[in-house]
Amino acid sequence: MNLNVLIRRIHLGSAFVLLGFVLMYFITGLVVTHGAWFGEATEQVVRRTEPFPRELSASPDAAEFAIQLRERLGLRGKPSRMEHRKDGSWRVSFAHPGHVTEVTIPADRSPLSLVEKHQGWQRILVGLHRLHGYGGGGLYTLWALLVDVTAVSMIVFAVTGVVLWHRMTRDRRLGWGILSAGFVLTASTLAYLMLRR
Amino acid sequence: MRIHLYGGLACFWYLLVFAVTTLRFNHPGLLPERREPAIQWERATVIPDLTDDLKLGEAVRGDLDLIGWVLPWNLQKTPSGDLRFELVRPGRNYRVTTDRAGGRVSVEERATGAGSAINFMHGSTGGVPGTRFLQLWGLYTDLTTGLVLFLSVSGVVLWWRRARDRRLAAVVVVLGLLVSAALMLRVWIFG
């Protein structure tokens, strides 16, 4: 197979892997970076208590405790880290885009207090954009895996794109100019942040 | 084709930064945020007579030629009327204390490593208070966002024109988008 064809196929393949998530990231990114354009998100807060589920086998400091708690309480969302508070209670939140439930577990295992927040569409988009990291159950592990695949595909896509340009073009002055300008801006921004007192 | 080609070159460096920072969000150990040892320094200065603590903090920041956000929830007024505040920015944090009587400001400065600096570059369009230079990166981010959305469409159109089997091409694109959308809906609705 011709090398140009191979590179083009890799470029295309990585583009297809990227397409869905890149569209999502760059559309939801607008809400993250220009929140004011889209207005304030609404938020409905519901507070309630639930009896402590006695059948939990893990202790609050164990990783599986949050997963067990989520199942027993019929909650949804990716669990945060368990937070041990000064008064001896524990707190954990379960979040999925546009929805957060904070659960406080008193030290004496008396009824749990739950605060459920239902947020507007802006927070749903921001939640999709910011969802990352492994753990929290199969769905979130799959999501994290796709985020990794998207990031690696983006590097492959960008590099093969430059290689294709280099191989397809005879007069490369404009291309080198654009690439150099981008490099100077990226390197100087990083250097500015790292070196400026 | 030319717009696709040169637009892609314009996005190249941002896409690399975006990809590396995305990997870092998933794997925080990749470029960990560090707390370097603090460096102490002082500077003689005239501290302005402002009653608003936040404005005073921002004035001191300008006088010290520092950049960053004065944290409004960490402003502490001492009994002598001096101000202690935190100033944060990507790559560095400061703890600033004024000494009005001595006409000095003391600063505890701490570098936070490349991780926090590169995080800023993932998607910051607002810049950092005290400098206009970083607004350039914000412009680049906005330009790239628009270009990537355009290039996604132009890339599919270019490929569609060249595809030998357009039916297969359509199935691949639509199926890819549907699978991604289904996963997003699954996460949103069913968590």
Write out A133-168 in H/E/C secondary structure. CCCCCHHHHHHHHHHHHHHHHHHHHHHHHHHHHHHH
Distance between CA atoms of residues A190 and B91, nearest Å: 9
Task: Label residue B89 by pLDDT band (50, 70, 90).
Answer: very high
State whether A49 and A93 are in the same domain.
yes
With contacts defined as CB-CB under 8 Å, which chain B residues touch A144?
26
State whether A58 and A112 are in the same domain.
yes
State whether A18 and A56 are in the same domain.
no
Q: Note whether B159 contacts A29, CB cutoff 8 Å.
A: no
For B141, which residue in chain A has the nearest alpha carbon?
A33
State whether A30 and A49 are in the same domain.
no
Greater confidence (A137 vs B70) lies with B70
State whether A58 and A107 are in the same domain.
yes
Strand partners, B106: B42, B97
Cβ within 8 Å of residue B115, ≥6 positions away: B24, B31, B32, B33, B34
For B169, which residue in chain A has the nearest alpha carbon?
A16
pLDDT at residue B69 in the model? 96
Q: Examine the pLDDT at B17 and tell me if it is beyond 90.
A: yes
Distance between CA atoms of residues A26 and A48, nearest Å: 37
3-state class (DSSP) for residue B150: helix
For A98, which residue in chain B has the nearest alpha carbon?
B188
Instruction: Say what percent of chain B tops pLDDT 90.
Output: 52
State whether A95 and A65 are in the same domain.
yes
B109's tokens: 């400065």
Averaged confidence pLDDT in chain A: 89
Interface test with A, best of B1, B21, B24, B26 (most A CBs within 10 A): B26
B 172-191 → A contacts, CB under 8 A: 172-173, 176-177, 179-181, 183-184, 186-188, 190-191
A91, part of any domain: yes
Rg (CA), chain A: 23
State whether A115 and A180 are in the same domain.
no
pLDDT at residue A153 in the model? 93
Greater confidence (B27 vs B31) lies with B27
Per-residue pLDDT, averaged over B45-57, amounts to 90
Q: Examine the pLDDT at A57 and tell me if it is beyond 80.
A: no
A170, part of any domain: yes
Q: Where are the domains of chain B?
A: 2-30+133-190, 39-111
Distance between CA atoms of residues A150 and A144, nearest Å: 10
Distance between CA atoms of residues A32 and A127, nearest Å: 10
Q: Examine the pLDDT at B72 and tell me if it is beyond 80.
A: yes
pLDDT tens column, A139-158: 889 889 999 999 999 999 99
Q: Would you say A143 and A130 are in contact if contact means Cβ atoms under 8 Å apart?
A: no
Is B171 at the interface with chain A, CB within 8 A? Answer: no
A128, part of any domain: no
Q: Determine which of A55-69, A100-114, B134-148 has the lowest per-residue pLDDT on average.
A: A55-69
State how many domains chain A has: 2
State whether A58 and A97 are in the same domain.
yes
With contacts defined as CB-CB under 8 Å, which chain B residues touch A32?
123
End residue of a domain, out of A119, A134, A151: A119
Q: Examine the pLDDT at B63 and tell me if it is beyond 90.
A: yes
Averaged confidence pLDDT in chain B: 89
**Residue of B20, B186, B190 whose CA lies nearest to A143:** B186
Assign residue B130 a region: left if phi > 0, alpha if psi is -120 to 50, beta otherwise?
Answer: left
Angstrom distances, CA of residue B92 to CA of A172, B110, B111: 39, 6, 4
Q: Examine the pLDDT at B33 and tell me if it is beyond 80.
A: no
Beta strand extents in chain A (DSSP E only): 43-50, 78-79, 83-84, 90-96, 99-105, 112-119
Instruction: Say what percent of chain A tops pLDDT 70.
Output: 98
State whether A33 and A89 are in the same domain.
no
End-to-end CA distance of chain A: 53
* Domain span at A162: 3-37+142-195
A135, part of any domain: no
Of B114, B136, B184, the CB nearest to A194: B114
A30, part of any domain: yes
